[in-house]
Amino acid sequence: MQLVGPAAELGADRLRQMYELMVLGRTLETRLHNMYRGGRLGGAVYPGVGQEAAQVGFASALEARDVFGGTHRDLMMQLTKGVTIEETLLNFFGKAEAPTKGRDGNSHFGVLEKGTLMVISPLPDAYPVAVGCALAFRQRGEDRVALADCGEGATATGTWHEAVNTAAVLQLPVVFTVQNNQYAYSTPNERETRLEHFADRGRGYGIPHSVVDGNDVVACYNAAAEAVERARGGGGPSLIEAVTFRHFGHAGHDPADYVDPELREQWLERDPIARFESLLIDEGILDDEQILRLADEVSRRVKAAIEWAQSRPDPDPASVATDVFAPRTGPRAPEPEPASGEPVTMLDAIRSAMVEEMERDERVFLLGEDVGPFGGAFKVTAGIYDRFGADRVVDTPIAESAIIGAAVGSALMDRRPIAELQYTDFIYPGLDELVNEAAKYYWKTGHPVPMVVRGPSGAGLRAGPFHSMSPESLVAHHPGLKVVCPSNPVDAKGLLLAAIRDPNPVVFLEHKKLYRSVKAPVPEGDFEIPLGSATITRPGSDVTLVAWAAMVHTCLAAAESLAAEGISVEVVDLRTVAPIDWDTVFSSVARTSRLVVVQEDVPVASIGSEIAARVADELFWDLDAPVRRVAPPMTHIPFAAVLEDAYLPQVDDVADVVRELSTI
């Protein structure tokens, strides 16, 4: 090792600081590992011992204003970014004052104020989030950079590809680093790729890429410093692979007996801390006495911090169900007044909401596949690109994970992203980012994630099993997500405006059959419909029908036909299925004493299941008949018109169930 390149300009104090961080990281991780193996630490540990040079070298190239997103093995990168060992230990011990307030343990945390993103188990989920941060920096004209790190095993995932490819296409200020520690858990490199180096993948994305000695902190720093400055200057992303070796197994419980002993010994002889010590001694920056004194000081500091953290209070058990949603603060627009004038389609109302909010708030922007000049698969975004340009209407590759993850990252950087899916059937590839990043972020860290994921859903257009899903039950199952299903233009506009302004992730499902088939006058001026508020679209006294989206119209038609038979039906439009407006549902059922839930989604583990169960539980003595559900059979959505009609609840299906209940 020798001081060359950008590292040669660091100065003695900075080099000593980097060495101290390496020693601190190894001392801390070794102590935690020993405590885990001795049964004195719960959860898990993922030691990065042996990878100090890569972690400290890479993170040292960042400035305080830059952002870092890593994995469970990147504890030293967190420390280098300014996270304290006290914050770290509070999290390992699950304490109330920890970065995650005891809601997640070990190294699964981030301290956004210090520029580190939340760590979660699925890898490399921080990659798309870092891409979103970089997108926000570029949109605001800031010369900030995001760095995303992972191990070599994570480069095999679709998430990794989507993030790197999207950043390359958009030329974003982000640096991607890979710590190749030879094993993805127990799987060696030759079982992970046919390439000689993982960085060779950069050639396929058309971005600069390099391979460095991951046990040489100077080499790692130099490579990262050059990539960071390239990104900061508008040169786009880079990919760096640090070839290194982890001294222990994947986690504390892993003995790593799959590693050849001779190979292990060869790597131990190249220990990164010993190599850096030799350089600093040769440069006259440290001597043997100073090294011993520093090791003793660090050891005492870690010991004292462990004792302090263990003594801190545990979380209050009463807080177990709190902080699912961030509270909305500040003024709200009024609810809509009755409107007159020319009726508009639901599609036009949705477009109008986005345009008006983009004009009102410069933080709001759109991203997704074909949302730009093409105007989206259903032309919902038509004309918006011409009005606001490429910075605020961002065409992306086909990459649902990257799209949703980038929305998370940009939302954390004080943007208000609206991510469009061509069809909400395609939400599955993005669920990891939606469920594990967006939905959990506020609950774990206290940082809101104001974003909207919107797109066409629902059946009835003979589109077959891959373009007709109603995924509301799927996403509503996950705490932290709000789910909206409008049934008409006024509600669509008012709910979308409220969704964009909400501090939480909102999934906005637009029933494609209603896009152009339902029209109504929409009030002028600013208005909102509060999320979580149902409405009674038709009052009645004999039976309550609860529905949302297209099924509201099916229920209204059934109610109209039943009125001729003397049966008075009340129709409740939920509008928001997560959270549900239980007060409106309960008060309606208490009046009518009968409930039918009508849904387009399949019946098992659904919104209808939850409504039926809760009404039966809490309003049992108000009911004069069993709660009934009208839903499709538990099968896939067919293509042929006669099959799709047989699948979807029809007016007669609803009317028959109401007639049956009204006789009980």
Q: What is the pTM of this model?
A: 0.97
Identical fold for domains 10-313 and 344-520, yes or no, is: yes
Q: Compute how many other C-beta atoms are within 10 angstroms of the C-beta atom of residue 504.
A: 24
DSSP-derived pairing of the beta strands 364-368 and 393-395: parallel
pLDDT of 638 above 90: yes
Residue 116 pLDDT greater than 90, yes or no: yes
User: What is the average per-residue pLDDT within 466-470?
Assistant: 97
The SS3 assignment for 355 reads helix
Which of 189-193, 231-235, 477-481 comes out lowest in average pLDDT?
Answer: 189-193
Catalytic residue selected from 467, 478, 511, 553 = 467
- What pLDDT digit, counting tens, does each position of 30-42 carry? 999 999 999 999 9
d(CA 281, CA 278): 5
What is the tens place of the pLDDT at every residue in 412-464? 999 999 999 999 999 999 999 999 999 999 999 999 999 999 999 999 999 99
The closest alpha carbon to 19, from 211, 297, 308, 224, belongs to 297
In 47-117, the DSSP E strands lie at: 67-69
Report whether pLDDT(499) > 90: yes
Q: For residue 451, what pLDDT is reported?
A: 98
Q: Percent of the chain, pLDDT > 70?
A: 100
Topology at the third CATH level for domain 535-662: Rossmann fold (3.40.50)
Please say if 250 is a catalytic residue: no
Q: What is the pLDDT of residue 252?
A: 93
pLDDT in tens, 337-377: 998 889 999 999 999 999 999 999 999 999 999 999 999 99
CA distance 277 to 144: 32
Q: Token digits for 65? A: 């204003």
Q: Is the pLDDT of residue 225 over 90?
A: yes
Residue 340's pLDDT is what? 87
Please say whether the beta carbons of 481 and 475 come within 8 A: yes
**pLDDT mean across residues, the chain:** 97
Separation of alpha carbons 9 and 502, rounded Å: 47
- Taking residues 93-106, report their average pLDDT: 97
Check residue 242 and give its pLDDT: 98
Q: What is the pLDDT of residue 330?
A: 87
pLDDT at 2 > cutoff 90: no
Q: SS3 sequence, 481-542?
A: CEEECCCCHHHHHHHHHHHHHCCCEEEEEEEHHHCCCCEECCCCCCCCCCCCCCEEEECCCC
As a whole number, mean pLDDT of residues 466-479 equals 97
d(CA 454, CA 460): 19
Number of H helices, E strands in the chain: 23, 21
State residue 531's pLDDT score: 98
User: What's the CA gap between 223 and 58, in Å, rounded?
Assistant: 8
pLDDT, average across residues 216-238: 98
What percentage of the chain exceeds 90 in pLDDT? Answer: 99
Average pLDDT on 625-649 reads: 98
Q: Give residue limits of the domains in the chain.
A: 10-313, 344-520, 535-662
20: confidence class by pLDDT, cuts 50, 70, 90: very high
Q: Rounded to 10 degrees, what is the CA torsion of 169, 172, 175, 177? A: -30
The pLDDT tens digits for 561-583 are 999 999 999 999 999 999 999 99
Local confidence band at 380 (pLDDT 50, 70, 90 cut-offs): very high
Give the CATH number of domain 344-520; options: 2.60.40.3080, 3.40.50.970, 3.40.50.1100, 3.40.50.800.
3.40.50.970
593-608 average pLDDT score: 97
According to the model, what pLDDT value does residue 11 have? 95
Q: Is the peptide bond before 122 cis (omega within 30 degrees of 0)?
A: no
Closest CA to 71 of 99, 110, 36, 112: 110
Domain 10-313 has CATH 3.40.50.970: yes
pLDDT tens for 125-139 read: 999 999 999 999 999
Tens of pLDDT, residue by residue over 261-285, are 999 999 999 999 999 999 999 999 9
| pLDDT recorded at residue 664 | 86
